[in-house]
Structure 1
């Protein structure tokens, strides 16, 4: 894996790390500019997949949810739970709620359909990132092309994440992790469901972001977050279909005593936010 990274870096002739500087002169004025990409896995019976997300651009709040696919065995579309949960989060934010714990709690209370899902919400205020997370969705913060923070996973056991839902076996918002991280202008945030996180290592995220920043620097074009989201989703999809690749999921499986090689085919949601 280390050798693979070195070969890629040598091919790209990485000498210095370009940065996205943003255009704010004061840390007090920091805001998020966000874009996303969603790639549901192929399933004729569930064309919308199980993931959902929202972006409140003006309020600087983003969120993702991943419906737990195991509900399909009971004939339940967990994607519908994820979509309702994210819609209710969006509504709460638009009504003026800024405390993420209350946003998630209100959304959870109003989501009455069957199923369950993970959830990760993030906001920016006073140059500090605030996040709340339930399950194995999450986010990374990149600074000067390097990952300087990655949110921890919440799992009861391997491949069994914490999940919000209405069944007795589901978790509640009281289980959520509350996270904070001091950010700077020029930081890039990558939030994703496990379709990315199970298939792409942080160093692969770094290289993808570095490459897009380098192209932007060479061409002088305006960089938009959707470009990075597309690149990362494409890498995740490619790795998920590789039956022999070493991936975060295959390593976690081995650590749990499972025989598992290659990527994990799943819905892929990526939100990329620039701190400017």
Structure 2
């Protein structure tokens, strides 16, 4: 247990973090005020890898055996889950398919079975954007100070990130008759803080990756990323921005997953062991220059680059061929999660194991309820990210790096694409 004098509460909103900040620990002692209740219940999380519990805020009694993640129970409490399990049929038209695949609702899912394959795939997307307007407001005297005025001026210039349903994050999911593509992107928030739309590059790159895959699904991930990034730069919609990306393609005939990762988004494959318990058997590794400074695909104007050069500094800029490649043979029963760092900066893969073992057990029809399983995971991770008393993965890494005691969740956009193989 941390003492009161050593406890430090952290909230980092940007991936553009100078190494010198790690030497000035006072910079990281920002307190987040937030609500910890949902549906009349107070949420708690045990980082000692115990089960996730919810206690009634009125009487302290556990409901539903204390398991807030029960899919059937949540469906009964919350009507927003009533659409889960619905399936879409997509036109053979690439344009129509593109529009539909790029407009999925939070928690929506589809199921696809391929000819000459014994496997069936259910895919869902869930997301939770960070409350940026709330984070920029003062709650001490109700008045704006100079810093808040600047923040709100920047908000006007970068308003798209406030309106985006996924914040600076974005997702990739689509299928053709030979395979499925799934993945996530995370726009670097530092650009939004300078008055630019930091959601633009992740959105436009997700668009291009989707359309290139639909038009030529036989291309490998590296080639799709290369072509897509070049197309975004040539199109010119994105004036400035940076993004990480992590996506994979499942071969519909063989069940082989070919994936890549550039930056600190993440994917993991969860498979049942001999005890019928989900374990993360395969996962990506983050690519970073240093703590909280991931590899990123960047579009930066020449005048920005010149000014940085004169100052003796430079921007973080990577190329698609610097991404790491992965390959894995999927089998029936596997659950695959592609997610942005908003999730894995707060919980560890073994926390996700616990969640899946508690909720993706026998009796739960994942082909019908994957959307709710995914959405609740994102929702509860969001609650943890706002909990100043939670020992998050981010705070533990920072403690290890600095030798100081840090504690607290890391508020961020969270996007998750989940796949169930049957």
**Do both proteins adopt the same fold according to a TM-score greater than 0.5, normalized to the shorter chain?**
yes
2:171 to 30, 44, 53: 53
Q: TM-score, normalised by structure 1?
A: 0.86
Q: Distance in 2 between matches of 1:148 and 1:252?
A: 22
Q: TM-score, normalised by structure 2?
A: 0.58
User: What does 1:1-276 align with in structure 2 at a 5 Å threshold?
Assistant: 4-6=48-50, 28-44=117-133, 45=155, 46-48=162-164, 49-58=167-176, 59-97=179-217, 98-112=219-233, 113=238, 114-125=240-251, 126-144=254-272, 145-167=278-300, 169=315, 170-214=317-361, 217-218=362-363, 223-257=368-402, 259=404, 260-276=406-422
Instruction: Kindly state the Cα deviation for residue 179 of structure 1 after the two structures are TM-superposed.
Output: 0.8
- Any unmatched runs of 5+ in structure 2? 1-44, 54-64, 68-110, 134-154, 156-161, 273-277, 306-314
CA contact (8 A) 2:245 2:263 kept: yes
Instruction: Kindly state the Cα deviation for residue 84 of structure 1 after the two structures are TM-superposed.
Output: 0.3
- Compared CA separation, residues 133 and 31, structure 1 to 2 (3 A): farther
Q: What does residue 31 of structure 2 align with?
A: none
Larger Rg: 2
CA contact (8 A) 2:51 2:354 kept: no
- Compared CA separation, residues 61 and 222, structure 1 to 2 (3 A): closer
3-state secondary structure, aligned to 2:420 = strand
Query: Alignment RMSD, CA only?
Result: 2.8
- Compared CA separation, residues 262 and 202, structure 1 to 2 (3 A): same
Instruction: Kindly state the Cα deviation for residue 226 of structure 1 after the two structures are TM-superposed.
Output: 1.0
The number of residues matched between the two structures is: 265
- Any unmatched runs of 5+ in structure 1? 14-21
Q: Distance in 2 between matches of 1:7 and 1:37?
A: 22
- Compared CA separation, residues 2 and 72, structure 1 to 2 (3 A): closer
CA contact (8 A) 1:33 1:60 kept: no
CA contact (8 A) 1:31 1:60 kept: no
Residues 84-133 of structure 1, C-alpha deviations (whole Å, 9 max, x = no match): 01000001001114310011101110113110100011111222211011
